[in-house]
Structure 1
Amino acid sequence: MSTSNPRLEPVTAANFDAVCAVSVRPDQTHLVSPVVKSLAEAYVHPAVAWPRAIVDDDTVVGFVMAFLDCAWDDNPDDVRFGIWRLNISAGHQGKGYGRFAVEAICAELRGRGVSRAYVTWDTGTHTPEPFYLGLGFRRTGELSGNQTVGVRAL
């Protein structure tokens, strides 16, 4: 990371434009929705979505959104928590911000008493699968739509 002070901050009126400006590399746009879509989803799912700006010093370098207390496949007995979206600005990739965000979400979930974190990813060109597997997630064998589901013990 370029500095030693990355942190997650709530998305507010003060950082909204900078958060919405987060844009991944052009070769990744098919893998992750734009931040503005995530914020719209957070608005319509306020009990489940936990959106945060990834900030280093005073610079927004990315966006991450967790899902909290979400029933899997509408099964009320299978409640899950995890990473819904992760967008790191193209110019800030490769500096450890994605790893930081995943670890920060996992720490937040642990603090809430959660024992497993879930994430999904697309397969194919430029997939984030190696990234998530390198952070300790493993494939569950499930699919969410066309995406692979991964889980990590906390």
Structure 2
Amino acid sequence: MIRLQTINEANYERCLALKATVANTNFVDTVTYSLAEAYVFYHDMKPFAIYEDDTMIGFVSMYVGEKNYQIINFFIDDAYQKQGFGIKAAKVCIHFLQKEYNAARVSCPVDLHNKDAQAFWKKLGFQFSDTVENGYVFMRFMIPEDKNSSF
């Protein structure tokens, strides 16, 4: 079962070792960068390790400030890609934002040139918005009002 876990002294070294190979290294921030960003913006950034049962398989950093809920940095480690974990983990992230922050909308900034990520988020129902900042297009997902629906 996919779950999010707070990063702590017991798992941070494993988390720092996570790696996702992409065509352009600018497409995905390192865990080190994301944890530093979360430290500086500790009220608004929530970093988590992504686990499948007891195995750490990925990382996500979410922005929760100003009621502008975003999945900022999300990836599954190379060793666990192409096994269906990405879609399941992304749904867990959306559910977390809905449950913990009552989010009605989730945004995801995606590099304008990262076609793979754009296709991934579209599979989940994210749509392109008109918002483009610093080379990132914000893809948005509206959470269904029916809290019992599964997206």
> Conserved in 1, the CA contact under 8 Å of 2:2 and 2:92?
no
* Deviating more after overlay: 138-147 vs 121-130: 121-130
> Conserved in 2, the CA contact under 8 Å of 1:31 and 1:127?
no
**Ranges in structure 1 where 5+ consecutive residues have no aligned partner:** 71-78
The Cα shift of 1:148 comes to 0.8
**Ranges in structure 2 where 5+ consecutive residues have no aligned partner:** 144-151
Counterpart of 2:95 (choices 107, 125, 131) is 107
Q: State whether structure 2 residue 29 is matched by structure 1 residue 30.
A: no
In structure 1, the partner of 2:42 is: 46
The Cα shift of 1:7 comes to 1.2
Quickly say closer, same or farther: Cα 1:121–1:13, change in 2 above 3 A. Answer: same
More helix by share: 2
Aligned partners of 1:115 and 1:46: how far apart in 2? 22
Structure 1 letter corresponding to 2:138:
V
The Cα shift of 1:28 comes to 4.8
The Cα shift of 1:35 comes to 0.6
In structure 1, the partner of 2:140 is: 151
The Cα shift of 1:127 comes to 3.4
- For residues 64-116 of structure 1, what are the alpha-carbon distances to aligned partners after superposition, in whole Å with 9 as ceiling and x for unaligned? 1111024xxxxxxxx41020110211111112222122111111121121100
Runs of 4+ in 1 over 2 A off after TM superposition: 26-30, 123-127
Q: TM-score, normalised by structure 1?
A: 0.86
Q: How does 1:133-148 map to 2 (within 5 A)?
A: 133-148=122-137
More strand by share: 1
Quickly say closer, same or farther: Cα 1:138–1:26, change in 2 above 3 A. Answer: closer
> Conserved in 2, the CA contact under 8 Å of 1:23 and 1:89?
yes
Identity of aligned residues (%): 26
Q: TM-score, normalised by structure 2?
A: 0.87
> Conserved in 1, the CA contact under 8 Å of 2:27 and 2:114?
no
Aligned partners of 2:29 and 2:114: how far apart in 1? 16
The count of aligned residue pairs is 142
Q: State whether structure 2 residue 117 is matched by structure 1 residue 128.
A: yes
> Conserved in 1, the CA contact under 8 Å of 2:45 and 2:65?
no
